[in-house]
Amino acid sequence: MEKISVVIRTFNEEAWIGLVLKQILKQKTEREVEIVIVDNKSTDRTVDRALSICPDVKYTEINDFFPGKALNLGVEASSGDYVVFLSAHCVPVDEYWIDNLVKSLKEDSVVACYGRQVPVESTSALDKRDLWITFGIEDRYQIVDSFFHNANSAMLRSYACQYPFDESVTNLEDRVWSCEQLKNGNVIKYSANATVFHHHGIHHGASESRAKKVVAVMEELHRDDTNYSGFRSLIDDVSRCIVFPISSRYDKADIKSLESKLDSLQKLEKHGWNVVIATSTTEQGKRCRELGLSVCEARDYSDVQAIPPLVEDISVIVEFFDMKSQYFDFFGFADIRKFDLSPDGLDSVLRALWHSDACLAVAAIHSRSHKMNIVNMSDFQGNQAVMSRGRWGDNLMAENENVIIDPARLILGTQSAYRRKNIFDQPVFLYSLSGKL
């Protein structure tokens, strides 16, 4: 008589292990079934609960948990012809699950099989979506696609001993294993009628920390077909604008800085940046044109006392471009007297935005008294951090927007006209106090 060993990894699964084991014991199969539990030092009554339902369960413990190591320990403790890997919270849907899973292993070249996973009523909407999209209703044979899932899978025990799981990876031990098998010309089969209920799904809801670990492994596995560089190259096609607001308060100093940095500004233009000087007076506009610079004359601040707060000032400039139907994917604002960035330096800030989900890159924010009394530098780690808008001050940032904060770098703008409009409706400003890249 053939024998199947069901290996179950557990950690604090008291709530589910009883139902899982009862469904395993109900299987209508002519094969002998043994159950092996590999427990990761559960602090609840997982093991006691399992033994109360199935006294002859084999039990082993793992102290230093890695998913592949736990599975290999289970295989080592098992004695069946087949080994089935089942998550401790995956409940077989019917009495034919186990036979439907292992029968595919008798097919030529099929070295492993995995079954369908479906949600339960209490499963989150995100996980329901992912389960239904991932696990379809038709069988398939995989000779290139390395997807494989050990929450509900099977292989010959002899094969599992010959080709053990990688014990060093923190996630996706199944995918790492299947990649190697497919490279050797083997086949992985998906069996749609070997179905289990999986309440939390394959992505554990929206766990960002788990997702980062998973992605780190996947990027290594798929480095040959993950073309990030193709997307990165698109940055050359985005429109970008750098605006230098000059004021009547620092009139002579600002004009002098423009004259001394004219070569740098021309280099920026040759590098694809639209350089615009936002003047405050008619005389400033005249001088900027004499220097061959583009001018925004939306501001009239001849009276120093009429200069508005910076956030309002920048909103006026943005509205000027909107009225002229000039739209840019990225906006930057800088103090000409303190600006000292090369085109490559400015582009590095642009890339920081392009390759993140942030909407702003921020160097420093100051009040009208030029005191950095808004940004708490103790919040930052290293030279760059991604922050939530909600951590700033009142009326500066709305919630649920990310910002790249780097106190040594220029502040740069937003990634789309829509997001730009949304941001400046707050309004939010971008500015540079000092610093080089």
Residues 276 and 291: beta-carbon distance below 8 Å: no
Q: How far apart are CA 205 and CA 226, in angstroms?
A: 24
Rounded CA separation 6/35 (Å):
5
How far apart CA 332 and CA 245 sit, in angstroms, is 11
**Tokens found for residue 379:** 């919040």
The band of 20, judged by pLDDT with boundaries at 50, 70 and 90, is very high
What is the per-residue pLDDT across 217-271, written as a single tens digit (0 to 9) for each?
666 665 665 454 555 555 666 678 888 888 777 788 888 989 998 998 999 898 8
Average pLDDT over residues 353-357: 56
- CA quadruple 207, 210, 214, 215: dihedral positive or negative? positive
Pick the CATH number of 235-424 from 3.40.50, 3.90.550, 1.10.3470, 1.10.150: 3.90.550
**Is the confidence at residue 384, as pLDDT, over 50?**
no
Query: Of the ranges 47-61, 119-133, 332-346, which is most confident?
Result: 47-61
Please compute the mean of the pLDDT values over residues 69-86 and round it to a whole number. Answer: 96
User: Does the pLDDT value for residue 184 go beyond 80?
Assistant: yes
More confident site: 324 or 137: 137
134-138, 208-212, 375-379: least confidently modelled range: 375-379
CATH class of the region 3-221: alpha beta
Residue range 367-396: mean pLDDT, rounded: 30
pLDDT at 202 over 80: no
pLDDT of residue 75: 97
Beta bridge partners of 387: 403
Structural domain boundaries in the chain = 3-221, 235-424
What pLDDT, on the 0 to 100 scale, is given for residue 116? 93
Measured CA to CA, the distance from residue 298 to residue 313 in angstroms comes to 10
Question: How confident is the model at residue 336, as a pLDDT?
Answer: 83
Which residues, listed in sequence order, are joined to residue 243 by a DSSP beta bridge? 276, 333
Residue for token pair 């492993």: 112
Name the band, by pLDDT with cuts 50, 70 and 90, for residue 385. very low
Among 360, 377, 372, which Cα is nearest to 434's? 372
Whole-number mean pLDDT of the chain? 75
**Domain 3-221 shares a fold with domain 235-424:** yes
- Give Cα separations from 262 to 255, 292, 294 (angstroms): 10, 9, 12
pTM: 0.58
Q: Cα–Cα distance between 374 and 362 in angstroms, integer?
A: 12
Does the pLDDT at position 361 exceed 70?
Answer: no
